[in-house]
Amino acid sequence: MDVQYERRRRRVKMARQVRVRPSSPVDKHFEEVRATVSASPDGLYFTTWRDAYYQGMRLLITFPYSSEMSNPEFFGEVVSVDSLSGLRRGVGVRFLTTIAPMR
């Protein structure tokens, strides 16, 4: 699936918590919980102050995230990193596969 296809998919504006972590040991480990700006069945978009994201980066995504319940975890790939106002960045992620199904 290419980026153009991803961008044609219907997105819904929604603010849901998402936990993001790099999946590769090559990338410096971090974990952050952010609110999504929008989501589709194939991915999501969120904003961050971190400059660690790059196109092609592989991530572990828990969406929606709640510390009180079990949620699905996805293996994803960064498809876009946008420069926003100030030092903020917008990160577009495509879901590649579910690795921990909902219970």
Q: Which residues pair with 57 in a beta bridge?
A: none
Domain range summary for the chain, segments of one domain joined by +: 3-100
Using the predicted structure, report yes or no on whether residue 87 has a pLDDT greater than 50.
yes
- Name the CATH code of domain 3-100 (choices 2.40.10.220, 3.60.15.10, 3.40.50.1860, 2.30.40.10): 2.40.10.220
Q: What is the pLDDT of residues 1-51, one digit of tens each?
A: 344 444 556 778 889 999 999 999 999 999 999 999 999 889 999 999 999
20-24, 42-46, 65-69, 75-79: least confidently modelled range: 65-69
The DSSP output letter for 25 is: T
Helix, strand, or coil here: 10?
coil
**pTM assigned to the model:** 0.84
User: CA of 38: how far to CAs of 10, 20, 44, 48, 92, in Å?
Assistant: 10, 15, 6, 14, 9
CA–CA distance, 36 with 20 (Å, rounded to integer): 11
How sure is the predictor about 98, in pLDDT bands with cuts at 50, 70 and 90? confident
% of the chain beyond a pLDDT of 90: 70
Q: Which of 25, 44, 24, 26 is nearest to 35 (CA)?
A: 44
